[in-house]
Amino acid sequence: MTERSEAQSISYRSFGEQALHYFDRPQQEVCRRPVEVASAWRGEELAGSDSWAVELSGEQIEELAGAVAHAKQLGGDLGAIGREQFPLATLAEEIGRWAAELRDGRGFLLVKGIPVEEWGEADSSLAFWGIGQHLGVPGGQNPDQELLGHVRDMGEEADDPFVRRYRTAGDIAYHCDLADVVGLLCLQPAKVGGASRIVSSVSVFNELLRRAPERVDRLFEAFCLDSRNEDGGIPYVPVEPCRYADGVLRTFYHSDYFRSAPRHAEVPDFTADERALLDLYEEIANDPALYLDMSFEAGDIQLISNHFTLHARTAYEDDPTHPRHLLRLWLSLEVGRLAVS
């Protein structure tokens, strides 16, 4: 998909437009004090709790089904379906609360109850897209403008350092995606493993500040982010991991893509201090006291803010007859919502 109609252009953003929106993070000062906000949670405090889960009611599922039927009747491809083509008279208000939680609260939640077995992949995909339209502005997930990604094992070699690891059954290191929010809808869980591991980037920062305050300033200076050959002609871009303004710390971190950038001749290798910083940052993120593991059931939607949460994945084993399959959606959150007229 390379060209968009006028209607499509206001129902989603291109990959580049969405990345620019995401990286437009205000910066006022280097933060050298603990950040005490709702998004500074600790996994040990949330384990065993369901405070971060929302169960859809029968009435809400029925309303979703009606919106799916309405959108199907209108026809057109996914990119032509905006908020107006997916009416949610009462559920829209609840989705607005989800957006507030992602933007100003804990920074993640799990929505349960989409009847994916009953609806099948096509209708479940449409429901997920429609929810996304009410939550924010969807966007392309790569230069090919893929709008709804499929996360499953494609048989690619997990040991290949440049393979997209979501296309394998291997583990995935901590990272953020190039959008305000990433959503995952589980169509089929793994036979074993495949847990989503999340950690508050605010809590990681606070712990780094406690352990090694002399290393904090470097997080507010750019690292090179490797494009991993999905560059559109740009092999890497400079990105500041942390930016801080008005009491809000926003973080972008991508372990593998930061660490591989020196493969480009013009990118200098890491200094000993820089490597020590990355190692310590990831050591803290992998502290069981900080992270939260979340296992998916069919019909679960995980929503994560890429400003306040890092996410990873444990390796998994598939049932050959029912392989793990998630749908992925990237979203921008903003005041003043674009919609198809």
Q: What is the pTM of this model?
A: 0.92
Domains and their CATH numbers in the chain: 8-332 (3.60.130.10)
pLDDT, residue 271, reads 97
Task: Write out pLDDT tens, residues 156-189.
Answer: 555 555 556 676 778 889 999 999 999 999 999 9
Any residues with CB less than 8 A from the CB of 179 and at least 6 apart, and which? Answer: 18, 19, 22, 139, 306, 330, 331, 332
- According to the model, what pLDDT value does residue 318 have? 86
Q: What is the structure's pLDDT at 338?
A: 39
pLDDT in tens, 240-263: 999 999 999 999 999 999 999 999
Q: 53-55 and 108-112: which strand pairing?
A: parallel
Burial of 158 (0-12, 13-18, 19+ CB in 10 A): middle
- List pLDDT tens digits, range 16-38: 999 999 999 999 999 999 999 99
Structure tokens at 207: 């712990």
pLDDT at 316: 84
Q: 306 and 177 in contact (C-beta within 8 Å)?
A: yes
Mean per-residue pLDDT of the chain:
90
pLDDT for 129 equals 97
Burial of 246 from C-beta contacts in 10 A (0-12 / 13-18 / 19+): exposed
pLDDT over 70, % of the chain: 90
Kindly report, residue by residue over 110-125, the tens digit of the pLDDT: 999 999 999 999 999 9
pLDDT at 4: 37
Residue 320 has pLDDT above 60, yes or no: yes
Decide if pLDDT at 154 tops 80.
no
